[in-house]
């Protein structure tokens, strides 16, 4: 096993960057001397990594902040490897994972997989989530989310949530994929406040839900590197049925449309945009309604505050990796550091014809490349009456 130590680890980057950002208003100008020093010394800013044959492991420890979980200390890492080292065109598979504990008593575990097999004829992506946390439920619809005052007696409850998601794709011709989806979630809500106890969705579907779904998915993918694309187009269309036949308690459908495009505007400088919608049909429990505010959409909103049968958003992002003035020890002028900024706009409603108001979003972030085309991102996003920090691997989309 090969172990590489440098003068800085990605754990240090994760710890320092969020607090340095907290001290800077979004509109402030970053001191020139700070940027110059970081870029000048970037040849010695190495990720602490462990290599064993074809496998590489990059650990991290970092704080973050979200409105629903407050300050969160997260430990985890990124495992990357190839299923066929002889195939230089085969994308490296990856498994990012993390365990977090927050100041409000929340515990979060997440594991993701991006697997590329058999000359990229098969792709397997998956997620495992576990959250045990005090949470807030504002009701369904934009009006309730916007006007309900957050308090122990109006929104607070305790949520225990589990999710297992898997998508298996087959490339039947270049860039075209078809496949299947399995999605299973379980939610146990306790310590309900008086307003939540009288909520019509809670009365109809209960405080404990179990939902299982099977679906079909079509994809077109011309991205050069899916986890950090510089160019290409991605289109995903999926339809998933949730029901008792698959082990769930409720009967409903989810239609998900996701369009992304990436254009290179310079060496390692990219303009990217995404348009996505998620629509629910049938007897949809309050736990499975479409929501805004995850680390992969309109970053800065409270996850789950805005929920309804339809969620739609669009987002444009500029990504910029710095170049060095002098070559590093490998003779490269490419720096490991970069930044991103984005603007977004979204909405939740019963359907597209009844959108009551739009939800604006903006943010900035720092990027650090742990290995070629693999970044840790530290993002700060702002929404309506809320903001949040996120520290995780890979780009939001």
How far apart CA 219 and CA 198 sit, in angstroms, is 42
- At 60, the pLDDT band (50, 70, 90 cuts) reads confident
pLDDT for the residue numbered 88: 83
Strands (E), the chain: 2-4, 49-52, 55-66, 70-81, 93-102, 107-117, 122-136, 156-173, 176-190, 208-221, 232-242, 252-266, 269-282, 290-292, 306-308, 310-323, 334-349, 359-371, 374-383, 386-393
Q: Are 95 and 79 in contact (CB under 8 A)?
A: yes
Checking 113-116 for CB contacts under 8 A at 24+ apart, the result is: 114/226, 114/227, 115/83, 116/83, 116/90, 116/91, 116/92
- Residue 89's pLDDT is 84
Compute CA distances 26 → 22, 23, 39, 233, 382, whole Å: 9, 10, 21, 31, 10
CA separation, residue 246 to residues 183, 184, 206, 207, 216 (Å): 10, 9, 20, 20, 14
Q: Model confidence at 111, in pLDDT bands (50, 70, 90)?
A: very high
Residue 128, domain extent: 2-393
CB atoms within 10 A of CB 156: 17
pLDDT digit string, tens, across residues 162-174: 999 999 999 999 9
Q: How much is the average pLDDT of 271-282? A: 98
With a cut of 70, say whether residue 10 has pLDDT above it.
no
| 290 alpha-carbon distance from chain centroid | 15
* Short-list 129, 14, 135, 144, CA closest to 70: 135
What distance in Å separates the CA atoms of residue 133 and residue 135, rounded to the nearest whole number? 6
Q: What is the dihedral of CA 101, 75, 374, 50, to 10 degrees?
A: -170
**Residue 2: pLDDT band with limits 50, 70, 90:** very low
SS3 146: helix
| Tens digit of each residue's pLDDT (9 = 90 or more) over 181-232 | 999 999 999 999 999 999 999 999 999 999 999 999 999 999 999 999 999 9
Higher pLDDT, 330 or 173: 173
| pLDDT for res 49 | 67
- What CATH number corresponds to the domain at position 245? 2.40.160.50
Scanning the chain, the segments in alpha helix (DSSP H) are 10-22, 32-40, 142-147, 194-197, 200-205
pLDDT higher than 50, residue 323: yes
Q: How many domains does the chain have?
A: 1
Mean pLDDT of 252-261: 98
Is the pLDDT higher at 332 or at 339? 339
Mean pLDDT (the chain) is: 87
Residue 11 binned pLDDT confidence (cut-offs 50, 70, 90) = very low
- Residue in 271, 151, 172 with CA at minimum distance from that of residue 219: 172
The residue among 6 and 258 whose pLDDT is bigger is: 258
For residue 287, what pLDDT is reported?
97
């Amino acid at each position: 096993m090969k172990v590489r130590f440098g003068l800085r680890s990605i754990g240090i980057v994760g710890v320092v960057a969020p607090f340095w950002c907290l001290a800077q208003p979004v509109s402030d100008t970053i001191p020139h001397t700070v940027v110059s020093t970081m870029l000048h010394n970037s040849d010695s800013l190495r990720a602490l990594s462990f290599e064993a044959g074809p496998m590489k492991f990059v650990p991290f420890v970092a704080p973050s902040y979200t409105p629903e979980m407050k300050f969160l200390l997260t430990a985890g890492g990124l495992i990357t490897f190839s299923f066929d080292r002889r195939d230089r065109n085969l994308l490296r598979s990856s498994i990012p994972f993390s365990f977090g504990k927050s100041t409000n008593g929340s515990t979060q575990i997440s594991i993701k997989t991006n697997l590329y097999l058999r000359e990229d004829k098969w792709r397997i992506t998956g997620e495992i989530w576990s959250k045990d946390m005090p949470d807030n439920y504002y009701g369904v619809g934009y009006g309730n989310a916007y006007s309900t005052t957050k308090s122990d007696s109006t929104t607070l409850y305790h949520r225990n949530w589990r999710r297992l998601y898997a998508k298996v794709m087959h490339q039947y011709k270049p860039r075209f994929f078809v496949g299947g989806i399995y999605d299973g979630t379980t939610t146990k809500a306790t310590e309900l406040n008086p307003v939540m106890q009288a909520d019509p969705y809670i009365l109809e579907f209960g405080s404990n839900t179990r939902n299982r779904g099977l679906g079909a998915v079509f994809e077109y993918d011309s991205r050069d590197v899916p986890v950090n694309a510089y160019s290409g187009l991605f289109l995903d269309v999926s339809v998933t049925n949730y029901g008792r036949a698959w082990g769930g308690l409720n009967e409903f459908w989810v239609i998900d449309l996701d369009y992304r495009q990436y254009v290179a505007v310079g060496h390692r400088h990219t303009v990217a945009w995404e348009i996505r919608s998620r629509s629910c049909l049938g007897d949809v429990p309050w736990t499975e309604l479409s929501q805004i505010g995850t680390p992969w959409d309109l970053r800065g909103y409270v996850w789950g505050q805005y929920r309804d049968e339809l969620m739609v958003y669009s987002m444009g992002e500029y990504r910029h990796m710095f170049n060095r003035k002098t070559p590093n020890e490998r003779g490269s002028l490419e720096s490991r550091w970069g930044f991103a900024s984005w603007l977004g706009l979204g909405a939740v409603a019963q359907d597209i014809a009844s959108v009551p108001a739009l939800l604006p979003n903006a943010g900035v972030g720092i990027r650090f490349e742990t290995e070629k085309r693999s970044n840790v991102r530290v993002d700060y996003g702002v929404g309506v009456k809320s903001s949040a920090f996120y520290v995780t691997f890979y780009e939001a989309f």
